Amino acid sequence: MQEPGIHPFNRDPEGYDRYRPSFPSELIAEILAFSHLPQDQTILEIGAGTGKATELFLKEGYPVVALEPGEALARYLRKKFEKYPHFTLYEEKFESWTPGEVTFPLIIAAQSLHFVSAEVRYKRIAELLQFDGTIAVFGHIEDGLDPDLQSELDEVYDRHFPSEGRASYSDLRRESMRVRTEELLHEKNFKDVTIKSYRWSCPYKTDEYLGLLDTYSNHQSLSVSQRKHLYEGIAHVFENRAGRVEMPYLTALTVARVKK
């Protein structure tokens, strides 16, 4: 079982960073507009992973303090962002990190908050936010694939992968997004809860999509033979579409201000 607070992609940061999608620019703009964040103010990130979200804020010129307890992920982040002098990394869990008297105007969690202990996650966030500070929680799932393509992929999966296994990742992500939203709506320490969603797409070539599948824990659990036959079938579907498919995503954002 995955240790709480440690990102499951600590085993292969390069693969995760190469194949997992980033986030739409509209989402970043919404967070910055909601938080009214001055350019010189520092953002705290919970569970930076490989820095998919981190990079977008760094490129906007914002200093980022990132927490990432995974050893391999932390090593990857240091190299990836070595050119950014305003990037600071602590190889620690959010629950136990002790920044002293420092507080932040904005805390972000990109597909990471579910790794933080439910008993303390919002209490700690409230403690570390400045007066009227903002928490932004966001993540995405694949959603709205072309029906014909979906049907062809379903046929391949039906032959090589039990339906309950392949559905688990998307279902779990969707449920996690719903729960995070519900939590903030009912948290007494937060106000002005705002929910946004964004539909966008990311192009994948055949090898890129197979690489993406390799980042999913349910696909990692397949036997070598099962994965080989599954991927051959998926590759055939892709090659019938010139080896390139637009994968649709739904990204959900929940922002709120702390009550202080």
What residues does each domain of the chain span?
Answer: 8-141+170-200+248-258
Report the alpha-carbon distance of residue 35 to residue 49 in Å, rounded.
23
Give the confidence band of 166 by pLDDT, cuts at 50, 70, 90: low
Four-residue CA torsion sign, 130, 124, 177, 208: positive
What is the CATH code of the structural domain delimited by 8-141+170-200+248-258?
Answer: 3.40.50.150
Give the confidence band of 164 by pLDDT, cuts at 50, 70, 90: low
pLDDT at 241: 94
Report the alpha-carbon distance of residue 254 to residue 124 in Å, rounded.
17
* Non-local CB neighbours of 50 within 8 Å, separated by 6+ positions: 9, 13, 16, 17, 20, 73, 76, 77, 80
pLDDT at 115: 87
Give the confidence band of 163 by pLDDT, cuts at 50, 70, 90: low
Closest CA relative to residue 73, chosen from 18, 5, 9, 1? 9
Written as one letter, the residue type at 85 is P
Does 88 or 141 have the greater pLDDT score?
Answer: 88
pLDDT at 31: 98
**What is the model's pTM?**
0.89
Instruction: Write the DSSP symbol of residue 55.
Output: H
Given a cut of 80, whether residue 178 has pLDDT beyond it is no
Given a cut of 80, whether residue 236 has pLDDT beyond it is yes
